[in-house]
């Protein structure tokens, strides 16, 4: 639990969510809120607490003695007929009373050699539960980060569509003026109006996409789906990552890999635990007794005992129907299975990092191309608009340039988002999700 505190305690929230409408929500604050409120993390933390309690219970059962205290008080009233060897005449006692009072404390301690191995195994299971909780935290951070940047991407796309609509409105005004002055046919004016309406529809659809992106982010932060807030209009891209550093850090910090390593240790300890059960078992016992008996019938009218009893024994299992041997064989098989699972996950981890890194590098290469393509498309659109205003270019030429600009802008901002998305995934796979390098901001150039 102490280890997990680093991931949970990012700092107290300075303001409530009700203030989001007046102030911006940055990524750090979104992560703070998610770690504070995400229910899956709360469940994971409780699982760690439960596992720690189980470990303490196991330690008490294995290494602590069991002490029981008993107090007994009994009474009886009977009619008694007695005959003795030296006096054959029967002796009759009516309403003979007897009383018995007994108090004892019994302590038992049994040491089983496999208990030491059992405690190590319980410790490994506690560490696994702690790592699972950290995985839940990492997944939450990665999910919130991706959803946050997705929202920025959709807002940037909205601005692109808004700019496209502005161009379509300018074209519509020009076409309308030319039509009214008789410089162009009605067909050009109607085509401009259709394209304007189409762009208006795309802008309206994008508003819905943005609303859903906000809902997705609110869901990960465990806040109200309709909560309103403002986010930055930039997507941050970290310093260039290297495959060697990612792989090296993954084999040290990847939580699923660490869990597989501990599961391998658990399988090994289970076999050692069974093998240790062949060793002798030591049992120690001791008791304190205070017993008083009173009776109106018999030779003894009072019998009182007080004192200590103690002793011990050593038990060795000689034969158990070969059951223990079969259980050890099964444990060896489970150990081999876990070895294979460990090797399989190492291969999978390397492959996941390689795939994400290839996509990451490809998008880095595409980014420079998309920047140049965007600059060319913007200049081409400005020229086409001026030519259309002067009546030199047709509406088809202008629309083609406009669509090319829209495509170029979308591809540019999408490329940046995909770089960030793969960066987050690589950070998660390598266990560095909390230690991102210094950031560089990217934003579309001003018009």
> Are 176 and 258 within 8 A, CB to CB?
no
Q: Where are the domains of the chain?
A: 20-75+116-301+326-442
For 7-27, b where at least 16 C-beta lie within 10 A, e where not — what string? bbebeeeeeebeebeeeebeb
> Are 345 and 383 within 8 A, CB to CB?
no
Can you state the angle between helices 114-180 and 323-389, rounded to 10 degrees? 20
Residues 6+ apart with CB under 8 A from 422: 356, 357, 359, 360, 363
- Burial-class residue 307 by CB neighbours within 10 Å (0-12, 13-18, 19+): exposed
Q: Reduce the DSSP state of residue 91 to 3 states and report it.
A: strand
pLDDT for the residue numbered 87? 67
pLDDT for the residue numbered 346? 94
pLDDT for the residue numbered 2? 43
Name the β-bridge partners of 80.
93
- The pTM of this model reads 0.76
Name the β-bridge partners of 110.
283
Q: Select from 138, 135, 144 the least CA-distant residue to 26.
A: 144
> Are 422 and 359 within 8 A, CB to CB?
yes
Beta pairing class for 87-111 and 281-295: antiparallel
- Rounded distance between C-alpha atoms, residue 214 and residue 153, angstroms: 12
- Rounded distance between C-alpha atoms, residue 160 and residue 199, angstroms: 11
Neighbours of 356 (CB within 10 A): 23
- Rounded distance between C-alpha atoms, residue 360 and residue 240, angstroms: 10
- Rounded distance between C-alpha atoms, residue 334 and residue 339, angstroms: 9
Tens digit of pLDDT at every position of the chain (447 positions) = 444 443 333 333 333 434 434 468 888 888 888 888 888 888 888 888 887 887 777 777 677 788 888 988 888 887 777 776 676 677 777 777 788 888 888 888 878 888 888 888 888 888 898 898 889 889 999 999 999 999 999 999 898 888 888 888 887 887 787 777 765 567 777 877 888 898 889 899 999 999 999 999 999 988 888 888 888 777 877 788 999 999 999 999 999 999 999 999 999 999 998 888 888 888 888 888 888 877 766 666 777 888 888 888 888 888 877 888 898 999 999 999 999 999 999 999 999 999 999 999 999 988 889 888 888 888 888 888 788 777 776 767 777 888 888 888 888 989 999 999 999 999 999 988 864 433 334 344 444
- Rounded distance between C-alpha atoms, residue 17 and residue 230, angstroms: 11
Q: Reduce the DSSP state of residue 320 to 3 states and report it.
A: coil
Q: Select from 268, 343, 344, 283 the least CA-distant residue to 315.
A: 283
CATH T-level assignment (fold) for domain 20-75+116-301+326-442: Outer membrane efflux proteins (OEP) (1.20.1600)
Phi, psi of 73 (to 5 degrees): -135, 120
Neighbours of 373 (CB within 10 A): 18
Largest CA distance in the chain: 151
Neighbours of 348 (CB within 10 A): 12
In angstroms, what CA-CA distances link 6 with 111, 249, 314? 38, 19, 48
The string of DSSP letters for 358-414 reads HHHHHHHHHHHHHHHHHHHHHHHHHHHHHHHHTT-S-HHHHHHHHHHHHHHHHHHHH
């Amino acid at each position: 639990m102490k280890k997990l505190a680093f991931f949970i305690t990012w700092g107290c929230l300075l303001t409530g969510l009700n203030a989001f409408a007046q102030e911006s929500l940055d990524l750090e604050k979104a992560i703070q809120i998610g770690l504070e409120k995400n229910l899956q993390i709360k469940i994971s933390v409780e699982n760690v607490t439960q596992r720690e309690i189980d470990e303490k219970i196991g330690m008490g059962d294995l290494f602590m003695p069991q002490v029981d205290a008993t107090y007994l008080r009994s009474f009886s009233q009977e009619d008694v007929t007695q005959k003795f060897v030296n006096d054959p005449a029967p002796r009759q006692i009516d309403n003979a009373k007897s009383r018995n009072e007994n108090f004892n404390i019994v302590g038992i301690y049994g040491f089983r050699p496999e208990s030491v191995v059992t405690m190590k195994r319980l410790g490994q299971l506690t560490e696994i539960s702690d790592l699972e909780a950290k995985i839940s935290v990492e997944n939450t951070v990665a999910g919130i980060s991706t959803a946050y940047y997705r929202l920025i991407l959709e807002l940037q796309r909205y601005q692109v569509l808004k700019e496209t609509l502005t161009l379509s409105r300018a074209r519509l005004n020009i076409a309308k003026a030319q039509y009214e002055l008789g410089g162009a046919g009605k067909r050009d004016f109607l085509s401009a109006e259709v394209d304007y309406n189409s762009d208006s529809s795309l802008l309206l659809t994008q508003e819905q996409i943005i609303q859903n992106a906000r809902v997705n982010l609110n869901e990960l932060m465990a806040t109200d789906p309709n909560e309103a807030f403002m986010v930055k209009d930039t997507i941050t891209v970290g310093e260039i990552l290297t495959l060697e550093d990612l792989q090296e850090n993954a084999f040290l910090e990847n939580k699923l890999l660490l869990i597989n390593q501990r599961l391998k240790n658990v399988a090994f300890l289970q076999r050692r635990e069974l093998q240790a059960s062949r060793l002798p078992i030591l049992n120690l016992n001791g008791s304190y007794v205070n017993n008083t008996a009173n009776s109106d019938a018999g030779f003894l009218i009072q019998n009182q005992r007080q004192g200590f009893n103690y002793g011990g024994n050593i038990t060795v299992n000689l034969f158990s129907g070969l059951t223990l041997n079969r259980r050890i064989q099964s444990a060896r098989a489970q150990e081999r299975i876990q070895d294979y699972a460990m090797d399989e996950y190492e291969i999978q981890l390397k492959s996941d990092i390689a795939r994400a890194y290839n996509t990451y590098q490809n998008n880095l290469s595409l980014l420079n191309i998309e920047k140049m393509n965007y600059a060319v498309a913007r200049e081409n659109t400005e020229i086409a608009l001026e030519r259309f205003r002067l009546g030199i270019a047709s509406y088809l030429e202008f629309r083609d340039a406009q669509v090319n600009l829209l495509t170029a802008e979308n591809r540019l901002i999408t490329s940046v988002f995909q770089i960030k998305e793969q960066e987050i995934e690589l950070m998660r796979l390598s266990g560095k999700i909390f230690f991102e390098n210094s950031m560089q901001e990217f934003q579309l150039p001003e018009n």
